[in-house]
């Protein structure tokens, strides 16, 4: 058997004091056989999880044949949190490949959230779906954001994309502000960070955008430096005034879409009073040569680690 294919991936539970592994979370998986992200609504006692792929599909890079035959994850799963049981699965559609980040509303009274999709294999668009709980207690999901690819000369593209003559957005991360007002979407391929007003979660509107990096665009930082790769893992300060992001997705994938070591960096954008983004020209974090920058966690808490037990009053 190939490594990583002898059982479905999932979640394990750790002792919060000793960090000892206590065992597997899932008691009843239902149809769930791939995994990526998860988050929960503690008072409502449910959890949501998403899908990427199996280790052979990502460890050594993106497997183009698997992508084009829609073999990566494209479903989101809902769980009875306490019973550890899959209660519903929504297939977003086989063409919506790699349903990754799960971002529920922070306010537990709001029973909705967002899931980012890396690429639609029918048109190279990136997408975000809004899922919500209905009056009968079941869940539904609808595509609420689409981001178009950009035409490009094949000579400017890595081998992986030459045949498409276009740069897909490659939605690699999303993050939701603590007040549930703004959703940030990393377009790792285009070299763009988008900000959407999601006050109406079923009808997001673009509120701001900055350009930095990108496979073809190669937008420079306001300080004049090259930002290798594109906006990737994104984190928001608790007060919603600052948005930080790094540039590496996964080293083997970096090398496919951005050949050569491009240098690891983290940048910051300032958020306007009513939305809008501006890159902070004085904020730039370098990392040692040979390293890649990925996940961000802010001291004291941030918007992708904090979860609330009580409604926002």
Q: Which domains does the chain have, with CATH numbers?
A: 12-286 (2.130.10)
Nearest to 36 by CA among 88, 92, 85, 101: 101
Provide the pLDDT for residue 313: 64
| Predicted structure pTM score | 0.96
Rounded to 5 degrees, φ, ψ at 67 are -65, -50
pLDDT, averaged per 10 consecutive residues of the chain (313 residues), comes to: 74 96 96 96 96 94 96 98 98 98 96 98 98 97 98 96 97 97 98 98 98 97 96 97 97 95 95 96 95 94 90 75
Contact 185, 194 (CB under 8 A): yes
Q: For residue 5, what pLDDT is reported?
A: 77
Determine the pLDDT at residue 92. 98
Instruction: Determine how many CB atoms are found less than 10 A away from the CB of residue 12.
Output: 10
CB atoms within 10 A of CB 312: 13
d(CA 254, CA 61): 8
Alpha carbon dihedral 53, 55, 59, 64, in 10-degree steps, equals -40
Q: pLDDT at position 6, please? A: 77
């Amino acid at each position: 058997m190939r490594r990583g294919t002898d059982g479905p991936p999932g979640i394990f539970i750790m002792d919060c004091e000793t960090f000892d592994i206590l065992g597997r979370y899932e008691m009843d998986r239902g149809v769930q056989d791939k995994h990526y992200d998860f988050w929960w609504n503690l008072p409502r006692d449910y959890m949501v999880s998403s899908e990427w792929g199996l280790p052979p599909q990502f460890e050594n890079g993106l497997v183009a044949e698997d992508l084009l035959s829609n073999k990566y994850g494209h479903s989101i799963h809902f769980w009875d949190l306490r019973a550890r049981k899959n209660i519903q699965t929504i297939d977003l559609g086989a063409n919506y490949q790699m349903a990754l980040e799960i971002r529920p509303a922070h306010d537990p009274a709001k029973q909705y959230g967002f899931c980012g999709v890396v690429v639609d294999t029918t048109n190279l668009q990136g997408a975000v779906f809004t899922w919500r709980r209905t009056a009968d207690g079941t869940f539904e999901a609808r595509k609420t954001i689409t981001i178009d690819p950009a035409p490009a000369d094949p000579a400017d593209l890595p081998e992986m994309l030459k045949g498409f003559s276009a740069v897909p957005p490659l939605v690699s991360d999303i993050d939701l502000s603590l007040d549930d007002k703004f959703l940030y979407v990393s377009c790792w391929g285009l070299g763009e960070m988008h900000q959407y007003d999601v006050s109406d979660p079923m009808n997001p509107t673009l509120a701001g955008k900055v350009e930095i990096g990108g496979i073809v665009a190669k937008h420079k930082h306001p300080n004049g430096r090259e930002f290798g790769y594109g906006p990737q893992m994104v984190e928001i300060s608790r007060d919603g005034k600052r948005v930080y992001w790094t540039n590496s997705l996964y080293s083997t994938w970096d090398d496919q879409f951005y050949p050569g070591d491009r240098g690891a960096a983290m940048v910051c954008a300032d958020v306007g009073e009513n939305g809008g983004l501006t890159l902070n020209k004085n904020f730039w974090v370098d990392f040692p040569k040979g390293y890649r920058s990925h996940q961000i966690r802010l001291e004291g808490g941030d918007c992708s680690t904090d979860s609330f037990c009580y409604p926002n009053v």
